Amino acid sequence: MNEKEINRYWKKIINTMNDGLMLVGRDGAILMVNKAFEQLTGYRADEIVGRSCTVLDCDACERVIKKDGDQWQCALFEPGQKDIKRCRCVITKKDGTLLPALKNASVLRDDHGHPLGTVENLADLSELDRLDQEVDQLSRQLDQSGGFHGILGNSAIMRKTFEVIQKAALSDAPVIIYGESGTGKELVARAIHRLGRRKEGPYVQLNCAALNEALLESELFGHVKGAFTGAYRHRRGRFEAANGGDIFLDEIGDVPMSIQVKLLRVLEAKQVERVGDHKPFSVDVRIITATNKNLEDLIARKQFREDFFFRINVFPIFLPPLRNRSEDIPLLVNSFIARLQAATGKEITGLTSVAMERFMEYYWPGNVRELKSALEFAFVVAEDGLIDLDQLPPNIATAGGMHKYLKQSISDSLAHNGYRQTHSSLSLPPQNTEKNALIDALQQTQGNQTQAARILGVNRVTVWNRMKKYGIDVKKILST
């Protein structure tokens, strides 16, 4: 093939490329694009040729103002700049969504070295971003295999819970998971995704209690370059990343009221607006939420929007605390010990009858998470054989059985009547139970808030907030 034939077929040649290609003039006008560019951006050639390349709003582009006026030119044309620039960037597609891409821009010059324009190719990185996130999520789930999609339990109440999870998965309606800390809400959310119609789509999760209001808004909805100090790049939000799949928002009860308003808008209009932008775009996402709080109580105290509650409370799932399904404890113990054996190589075979009896009567305020932590502690202390009472965490080894107020909270009707009751009557402990559990933990640890948090299966900040909420004075409770 000679040069003449190459020139004849060059359009066909560039249209065989998988990467998007565009030719941009010195004035910034787009002169030509290939088929892959059209597929990546959503713009047809006849829609975008002749328009400024700024329509893509690339967050890696740099422009300078010409000295002779207010016109701008690409910084690539400035003296001293390299003719080839390779960078990772984010561009805005025709539908308003963001496309993470790897961009190669090369300056075209005439025989005298004067710049004529640039040729740029774009490689789609969205699938790579999705796989990176999936690997990160799966790495946190490696030790949670087995059972019903990682959820262990064979009691009647758990079998009923599994049935409800399967039914929820088949619907596209919003799901909310109620349960105390450590009951497995994250595992349930993931099971719903795996069993649902969107299982081939992305699964994105976010702990809403881990971020302040400004960061939470940016994480959820994304932001554009320059939206606030430090916003040096466009950023896709979690909703945009979850498009076509499911998004799991944990600790929804901790979301500020201002964010609740925006989430309500997303649920009703199925549109998202990035921070610093005023161009909403459509998203197709099923929302799954979770909380260990009584949302109806928060509504009564004007700390949670009632209209938002009705939108997310379409399909409620209630996870029982471990003390309400104590018959599952031996199964959990055996499963966790098997995993710890494989991880440590220790020949620890189980619990002594005394230690198992303590496990059965202990009230487990931190639920399954606390039970797992107790066995991890025992594997550090013990060498082989059976784990005895003195090899358990002190708060469990010295516990005098299940407290009266927690015994009273166990309701047989939960297993019999299941989810026909209201969530306030069966899913979450009353405030006095939460307060008493905190007082008991602080008494066991002699006021050490970090150790109390470990017992309760929450973080230290939560312990501090609850102490403030209930007006708990450590000195007073330790003197009683």
The Cα–Cα gap between 244 and 272 comes to: 14
Q: Is 352 helix (H, G, I), strand (E, B) or coil?
A: coil
**Residue 352 domain-assigned (yes or no):** no
**Total number of domains in the chain:** 3
Q: Which phi and psi angles does 73 have, rounded to 5°?
A: -145, 160
List the CATH number of the domain containing 13. 3.30.450.20
The Cα–Cα gap between 184 and 195 comes to: 17
The Cα–Cα gap between 57 and 97 comes to: 11
Give 210's DSSP letter.
G
Question: Can you read off the two tokens belonging to residue 400?
Answer: 């005098």
From 13-27, 131-145, 462-476, the region with the lowest mean pLDDT: 131-145
Task: List the domain range (segments joined by +) for residue 479.
Answer: 430-480
List the CATH number of the domain containing 207. 3.40.50.300
Average pLDDT over residues 351-363: 91
CA gyration radius for the chain?
A: 29
What's the confidence (pLDDT) of residue 434? 74
What does pTM read for this prediction? 0.65
**Residue 477 domain-assigned (yes or no):** yes
Sequence-ordered strand ranges (E) for 405-477: none
Domain's final residue, options 268, 301, 318: 318
The Cα–Cα gap between 411 and 428 comes to: 12
The Cα–Cα gap between 142 and 453 comes to: 25
Same domain, 22 and 52: yes
| Cβ atoms < 10 Å from Cβ of 266 | 21
**pLDDT tens-place string over residues 30-83:** 998 999 999 999 999 999 999 988 888 887 777 655 555 556 667 777 776 676
Pairing outcome for strands 203-207 and 246-250: parallel
When the pLDDT of each residue in the chain is averaged and rounded to a whole number, the result is: 82
Q: Is 432 helix (H, G, I), strand (E, B) or coil?
A: helix
Per-residue confidence at 270, pLDDT binned at 50, 70, 90? very high
Same domain, 116 and 177: no
What's the confidence (pLDDT) of residue 379? 94
**Residue 379 domain-assigned (yes or no):** no
pLDDT > 50? residue 414? no
Burial class (CB in 10 A: 0-12, 13-18, 19+), 133: middle
